[in-house]
C-alpha cells in the first residue's frame, strides 16, 4: 500500500517487486468479466516525501526504542518509590497548605512536595462542592498532608457550579506566585503521581489546568487493575447480584470490582474499612474539622492501600504488557485536558434554553394530542382505536348537592349579593351571570379532579393546589411515559405498538379473522390496517429490521450467559396470548430477546424513524419525534457535562494571543 519511495524509507531492506504476471493477468480477466476496464485508469504519481528517520533497524524496533525512551524516567521513579515508604505520622497538623512529615524531623510547612514520585489521594466534602478539602501524599522519604483554607477556617459558601479559580486547588509543583509563563527546570523534570482512579485527584491539582504541560504524569492503579484482572459486563452483573447462581465461578477469585476496597482485597488479601468516607458525603466542614485526625488517618490509609496494590499489581502489569508503548500510552492519556474559554458558559446556557424550549414544545404537542384522544369517549369510539382500546376510560362524575328546603332553586340561584352600592354601575357580565353566583354552594367540598375525563387522562394532570398559576391540562406528559407511544399511534413496519406489563413494548400481528367473536381488541380495524398472517415463520421475514437493531449480545456478555439467556426465551419474542386473535411480538432490545423494551422513543430507536421502520399515523408524531432526536444528546449527557470541573486561568497568565478570545 506504500509507494516505493516511502517503502524504501520505512523498510530499510528496500522494495522488492515479487508480483506474478499470471496472477495479474487473471485479475485483469476477472475485472473484464464484470465490465470493469482497468486499461483506461489514470495512474497517479507516486507519493514521495521524507519521513522521520527510524530509531532502529525496522518499525518494530523503532517503536520499542521510542517507547523505552519515553517511559524509562518514569519507570526509574516508580522503582525508587517501590523501594519503600516511611511510616505515616501519628499526629497531623491542621494548618493551611502542605506540611511535610519526615522521620526524625519536625513537621515543616512547604509550598509543595519535594520528591518526584508520590502516591496521592484527595478527599472532598461533597456538601461544599467539588473543590478539595484535604489530601495526603507519600514518597520514599516523607509523608505530606494538605489542608484547604475552608477546612481550617470552618466557614464556607457552597459552590455547586463546578467552576473554580486556581487558588482553591492543590499546588503540586509550584508556589503561590509561580505561573506557567516560564516553566522551571523542576516543573519540566519527569515526575509520576500514583493514585487509584487518579483522574479524580488530578482534576483538583492546580498545575493540571495550565496550558503548558509540565513533566508530571499520572499512573492509575484502577486502570492497571482493569487491564490485568478487570470484569466483563456480565461478570460485573453477577458479582453485584446476590441472587445469581453460577456453576462456573472459578473466575470470581481472580477478579474484582474496580473500587479500592475490592481491589485491595483481591491483590493484598485484606479488607478496608471505608465507613469514614460517609463523613465526606453526608457531613459538613465543621464535622470534618472536629474529626480532623480521624479523617487524615483515613486518607493516609487509602494511600497505604494504594501503595500495597501498586507493589502487587505493577509487576503483573509489566509481565502482561511488556511493550513499553503500553505504559507510555497510559501515562500520556492520563495528562489530557479540554481547553475552553468564556464561550463554554454560553454553550451551557444556550443548550439549557434550547432544551427547555424544545421540551415545552414537545409537551404542548403531546397535550394537544391527548386532548384530541379524549374525544374518543363520545359514542365509545375508543373501542375501535388500535392503540387506546385497553386504556382506563372510566371517569369520575361530580355530585351536585340538593338545594336547601324552604327555598326554591330559582330563589337560591337568583339571590343577589348583599351590600351592593346602588350608585355603582352594574357590570353587564355580572348581570348576565348573576344566576351562577351561588351555584358554588351546591358543589361538594371534596371534588374529583377533572370530572368527566377518562382516568388515563386524569393521571397526566396536576391538582389545582399544586401551583398558584394552575390551569387544567396534562402537564405531566412526556416522551418517557407509557401512554405517549399510544397517543402518537406508533407502528412497527405497519403493525400497531402494544404494551404488556411483563413483556414490555411489542406489536400486534393478527392471526384470526373471526370478527364475530366478542372481544375487547378491535380486530376488525386491525385487519383493515394490517395483513392477516397465518404462517408464524413469515413474521421473521417481515421483521428483518429487528436484526439490524439487535447488537451481538456476545459483545456485552460471556458466551455461556448468552446461550443461557437464549434458553430462557425460546419463543423468540413471540407470544400468542392477546385476545386469542393476535400475536404479540416484542420489539428488539439491544442486549437480546430476554430483555424488554421500556420505551420505543428512547435513543436506540430514534434512527428507526428515519428508516420508516417505526412510523406513525398521527400528524403530531413526526414533530414530536423530530424534537426527541434533538433532545436526545443533551438529555443523556447533560449531567456529565454540567458536572465537569472547570478551572479558570487569570487573564494575565494567558498568552497574549488568547486574551479576550
Mean pLDDT of the chain: 84
Predicted confidence at residue 581, as pLDDT, reads 87
Scanning the structure block, which residue is given the C-alpha cell 465461578?
249
- Comparing CA positions, the residue from 42, 216, 205 lying closest to residue 115 is 216
Q: Tell me whether residue 121 is one of the annotated catalytic residues.
A: yes
Q: What are 554-578's pLDDT values in tens digits?
A: 343 333 344 344 434 445 556 666 8
Distance in angstroms (rounded) separating the CA atoms of residues 246 and 250 = 10
Residue 513: what pLDDT? 85
The distance of Cα 40 from the centroid of its chain, to the nearest Å, equals 53
The pLDDT tens digits for 168-194 are: 999 999 998 888 888 999 999 999 999
Q: Which residues contact 521 (CB under 8 A, 6 or more apart)?
A: 389, 390, 508, 578, 579, 581, 582
The pLDDT score that the predictor gives to residue 40 is: 65
Select which of 116, 121, 220, 308 is catalytic.
Answer: 121
- Please tell me the predicted confidence (pLDDT) of residue 621: 81
Whether pLDDT at 341 is above 50: yes
Residue spans in the chain of domains classed CATH 3.30.420.390: 72-337
Distance from the first to the final alpha carbon of the chain: 43
Q: What is the pTM of this model?
A: 0.75
pLDDT greater than 80 at residue 84: yes
| Angstrom distance (rounded) from CA 624 to CA 601 | 10
Ramachandran angles phi, psi of 492, nearest 5°: -115, 110
Q: What integer pLDDT is reported at residue 194 of this predicted model?
A: 98
Q: How many C-beta neighbours within 10 Å does residue 656 have?
A: 6
For the CA atoms of 14, 20, 24, 29, the dihedral, rounded to the nearest 10 degrees, stands at -170
For the segment(s) 72-337, the CATH number from 3.40.50.300, 3.30.420.390, 3.90.190.20, 3.20.20.140 is: 3.30.420.390
The tens digit of pLDDT for each residue in 85-136 reads 999 999 999 999 999 999 999 999 999 999 999 999 999 999 888 999 999 9
Q: Say which residue the cell 451551557 belongs to.
A: 348
The per-residue pLDDT for 612 is 82
Copy the grid coordinates of residue 378: 363520545
Amino acid at each position: 500500500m506504500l509507494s516505493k519511495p516511502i517503502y524504501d524509507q520505512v523498510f530499510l531492506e528496500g522494495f522488492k517487486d515479487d508480483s506474478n504476471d499470471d496472477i495479474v493477468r487473471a485479475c485483469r480477466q476477472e475485472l473484464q468479466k464484470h465490465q470493469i476496464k482497468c486499461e483506461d485508469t489514470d495512474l497517479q504519481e507516486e507519493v514521495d516525501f521524507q519521513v522521520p528517520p527510524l530509531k532502529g533497524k525496522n518499525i518494530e524496533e523503532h517503536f520499542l526504542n521510542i517507547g523505552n525512551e519515553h517511559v524509562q524516567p518514569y519507570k526509574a521513579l516508580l522503582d525508587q518509590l517501590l523501594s519503600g515508604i516511611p511510616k505515616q505520622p501519628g499526629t497531623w497538623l491542621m494548618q493551611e497548605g502542605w506540611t511535610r512529615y519526615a522521620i526524625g524531623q519536625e513537621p515543616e510547612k512547604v509550598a509543595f512536595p519535594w520528591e518526584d514520585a508520590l502516591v496521592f489521594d484527595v478527599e472532598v466534602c461533597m456538601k461544599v462542592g467539588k473543590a478539595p478539602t484535604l489530601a495526603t501524599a507519600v514518597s520514599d522519604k516523607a509523608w505530606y498532608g494538605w489542608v484547604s483554607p475552608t477546612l481550617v477556617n470552618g466557614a464556607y459558601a457552597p459552590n455547586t457550579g463546578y467552576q473554580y479559580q486556581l487558588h482553591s486547588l492543590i499546588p503540586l509543583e509550584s508556589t503561590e506566585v509561580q505561573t506557567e509563563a516560564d516553566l522551571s527546570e523542576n516543573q519540566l523534570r519527569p515526575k509520576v503521581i500514583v493514585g487509584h482512579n487518579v483522574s479524580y485527584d488530578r482534576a483538583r491539582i492546580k498545575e493540571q489546568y495550565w496550558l503548558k504541560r509540565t513533566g508530571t504524569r499520572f499512573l492509575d492503579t484502577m486502570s492497571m487493575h482493569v487491564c490485568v484482572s478487570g470484569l466483563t459486563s456480565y461478570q460485573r452483573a453477577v458479582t453485584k447480584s446476590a441472587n445469581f447462581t453460577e456453576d462456573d465461578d472459578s473466575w470470581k477469585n481472580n477478579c474484582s470490582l474496580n473500587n479500592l476496597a475490592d481491589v485491595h482485597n483481591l491483590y493484598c488479601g485484606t479488607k478496608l474499612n471505608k465507613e469514614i468516607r460517609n463523613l465526606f458525603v453526608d457531613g459538613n466542614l465543621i464535622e470534618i474539622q472536629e474529626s480532623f485526625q480521624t479523617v487524615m488517618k483515613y486518607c493516609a490509609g487509602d494511600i497505604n492501600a494504594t501503595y500495597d496494590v501498586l507493589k502487587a499489581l505493577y509487576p503483573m502489569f509489566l509481565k502482561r504488557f511488556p511493550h513499553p508503548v503500553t505504559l507510555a500510552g497510559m501515562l500520556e492519556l492520563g495528562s489530557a485536558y479540554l481547553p475552553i474559554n468564556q464561550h463554554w458558559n454560553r454553550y451551557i446556557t444556550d443548550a439549557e434554553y434550547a432544551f427547555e424550549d424544545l421540551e415545552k414544545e414537545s409537551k404542548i404537542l403531546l397535550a394537544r394530542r391527548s386532548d384530541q384522544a379524549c374525544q374518543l369517549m363520545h359514542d365509545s369510539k375508543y373501542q375501535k382505536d388500535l392503540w387506546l382500546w385497553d386504556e382506563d376510560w372510566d371517569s369520575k362524575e361530580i355530585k351536585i348537592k340538593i338545594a336547601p328546603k324552604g327555598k326554591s332553586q330559582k330563589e337560591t340561584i337568583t339571590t343577589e349579593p348583599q351590600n351592593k352600592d346602588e350608585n355603582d354601575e352594574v357590570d353587564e357580565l355580572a348581570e348576565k351571570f348573576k344566576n351562577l353566583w351561588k351555584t358554588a354552594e351546591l358543589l361538594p367540598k371534596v371534588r374529583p379532579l377533572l370530572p368527566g375525563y377518562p382516568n388515563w387522562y386524569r393521571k397526566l394532570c396536576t391538582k389545582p393546589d399544586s401551583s398558584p398559576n394552575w390551569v387544567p391540562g396534562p402537564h405531566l406528559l412526556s416522551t418517557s411515559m407509557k401512554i405517549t407511544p399510544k397517543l402518537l399511534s406508533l407502528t412497527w413496519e405497519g403493525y400497531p405498538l402494544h404494551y404488556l406489563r411483563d413483556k414490555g413494548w411489542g406489536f400486534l400481528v393478527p392471526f384470526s379473522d373471526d370478527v364475530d367473536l366478542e372481544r375487547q381488541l378491535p380486530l376488525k380495524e386491525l385487519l383493515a390496517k394490517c395483513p392477516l398472517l397465518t404462517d408464524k415463520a413469515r413474521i421473521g421475514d417481515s421483521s428483518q429490521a429487528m436484526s439490524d437493531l439487535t447488537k451481538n449480545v456476545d459483545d456485552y456478555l460471556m458466551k455461556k450467559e448468552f446461550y443461557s439467556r437464549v434458553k430462557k426465551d425460546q419463543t423468540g419474542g413471540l407470544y400468542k396470548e392477546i385476545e386469542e386473535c393476535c400475536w404479540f411480538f416484542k420489539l428488539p432490545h439491544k442486549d437480546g430477546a430476554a430483555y424488554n423494551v421500556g420505551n420505543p422513543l428512547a435513543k436506540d430507536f430514534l434512527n428507526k424513524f428515519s428508516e420508516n421502520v417505526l412510523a406513525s399515523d398521527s400528524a403530531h408524531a413526526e414533530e414530536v419525534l423530530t424534537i426527541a432526536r434533538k433532545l436526545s444528546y443533551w438529555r443523556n449527557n447533560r449531567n456529565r457535562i454540567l458536572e465537569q470541573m472547570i478551572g479558570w486561568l487569570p487573564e494575565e497568565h494567558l498568552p497574549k494571543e488568547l486574551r479576550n478570545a
